[in-house]
A and B are shown apart, each in its own frame.
Chain A
Amino acid sequence: MHEAPDVDATVRAIESLVDMQPESAELAGLLMQLYGAGLTRIVEVIREESGESILERLAGDKLAASLLLLHGLHPVDAATRLRKALQKLERRFDAQRVSLAEIKDGVAFIRVEHNGGGTPPAALADMIEQAAMEVAPELEGIEIEGAAHAAVLVQIAPAPVA
C-alpha cells in the first residue's frame, strides 16, 4: 500500500503555489475536474456491480473518503455520518444524550439533553463540534441546543454543483 500523503500539507502547498501564480488556479481546477470525473465513474461502476461493501470500506478510509467528499461522492450522507459520530460520543458520556435534530441549509442542529452531572456543557460542545467537523466537514455550521456554548458557525465553501 502506498504511503498516504499529508493531505493538509499538500493543500497548503497548492494554495501557496496558486498565490504565487494566480493563473495556475485554472490548471488546478481542470486537473481536479478530470480526476473528479474519473472518480465519479469509478463510484458509478462500483455501485452498478453492487459493491456497497467496497464503498463502505472507502468511506472508512480517511484519504479516500476526503477525496470522495471533495467531489460530492461520499457514499454515506452527512446526517448518517453525523449520527454515528454522535452515538460514539454519547457512549463516552453516560449522563448526556446527544442527538441530531436536523440538517437544514447546511447547518446541523444538535440537541444535548442533560441528565444531571456529566461533562461541562462548554467542553461537550467543543467535542461535538470537533467530531462533527471530522466526519462531516461539508457542513456550513453547527448549532448546539442545550449546551451553554454559543453556536459557532464555521464557514466552508458550498458543495460543488453536480
Chain B
Amino acid sequence: MKEILRLRRFLDAPVSTQPPSERCEFCGVAIAEPHSHVVDLEQRRIVCSCRPCYLLFQNAGAAGGRFRSVGDRCERVEESGLDMDAFEMPIGMAFFIRNSKSNRLVAFYPSPGGAMESGLQVEAPLSLEADIEALLVYRRRESAETWIVPVDVCYELVGRIRRRWRGFDGGAEVYAEIESFFANLNEHRSAACQI
C-alpha cells in the first residue's frame, strides 16, 4: 500500500489547465504568443522560434542556406501587377511566394485542408524576398486588397480559415474571420506583423 503513495508527487505538483507553452524549435526555450518564425527551406515548413534564434537566421545563407527568418515587411500595395482573372480563387484569396530554388512565383490557396499549392505559372513585377515574404491578395465582390507580408502571416490566416471552414464554400463564419483578419492588418499594420 506504501508504493501507491509515491504517486502523490503528481497530485501535489502544480498543474495548470493551460496548454503547455510553445517552445523554440531551435533551442527549446519557452516562447509566448506572438513569437518569431523561421522558414525551413529544406523541409518547406515554418518553424517557431525565440527572438534570439530568429535573429541568427536573418541573413540569406545562414545555416548553410537551410533556415531563413521570415520577413518583417508588412505593407499594403496598390497593385499586384498580377492578372487575377487568369486563375480561379476559390474564396477570392491567394498568396504568392517566390521559391528561391526554382526562382518561380508559387501561388497558394487557403482551403479546409490548409494551403494548397497551385500549379499555375504566374509572374509578378513586384519584388518579393524569396521564401520569406508573400504577396497576399484578397478580392471581394466590390473591392480588393493586396499586401506584402511575412510568410508566417499567410500561414496564420490559413490556420484561421481551416478552423472556421464549414461546408462546401467555407460558410459565413470563414468570411467573418477573413474580414476580421484584414481589418486587423489595416488597423495595426505594424503590430500585426510584429513577429
B8 pairs with A25, CB closer than 8 A: no
A11 pairs with B4, CB closer than 8 A: yes
A-B contact pairs, 8 of them (CB 8 A): A7-B3, A8-B3, A15-B6, A18-B10, A32-B10, A69-B5, A70-B4, A157-B9
Top-3 shortest CB links A-B = A137-B2, A29-B10, A28-B10
Chain A residues in 8 Å Cβ range of B103: none
The number of residues on chain A lying at the interface, defined by a beta carbon within 8 Å of a beta carbon of chain B, is 34
Interface segment among A60-68, A87-95, A112-120, A144-152: the answer is A60-68
B15 pairs with A69, CB closer than 8 A: no
Chain B residues in 8 Å Cβ range of A18: 10
Q: Does B12 contact A (CB under 8 A)?
A: yes
Q: Does A26 contact B (CB under 8 A)?
A: yes
Known: A23-B20, A25-B10, A29-B10. A137 touches B5 (CB 8 A): yes
- CB A108 to nearest CB in B, in angstroms, measures 14
Chain B residues in 8 Å Cβ range of A156: 2, 5
Q: Does B102 contact A (CB under 8 A)?
A: no
Q: Does B86 contact A (CB under 8 A)?
A: no
Q: Does A77 contact B (CB under 8 A)?
A: no
Q: Does A36 contact B (CB under 8 A)?
A: yes
Instruction: Please name the residue on chain A nearest to B12 by beta carbon.
Output: A160
